[in-house]
Amino acid sequence: MNLILMKVKKHNGDIINKMIPIKYNLRKFIKILINIKVIAEWSILKTNKHEIPIA
């Protein structure tokens, strides 16, 4: 899958827009997002002292 992203010139002065990596590997980006979600869920479970039963 090839994804080409282009910056919109109208938003060129936006600081947040400059921080977004346009030429970033989409698959790697999605993997990082999923890993962050998993880490957050484990952190919440650990904080609340819940244990996941093993079937």
1-55 pLDDT tens trace: 788 877 666 656 666 666 656 666 778 888 999 999 999 988 888 877 766 665 5
The reply to whether 42 falls in a domain is yes
Give the pTM: 0.44
Count of structural domains within the chain: 1
The reply to whether 13 falls in a domain is no
The reply to whether 37 falls in a domain is yes
Nearest to 26 by CA among 10, 7, 8, 4: 4
pLDDT number for residue 37: 92
pLDDT number for residue 34: 93
Q: How far is 28 from 31, CA to CA, in rounded Å? A: 5
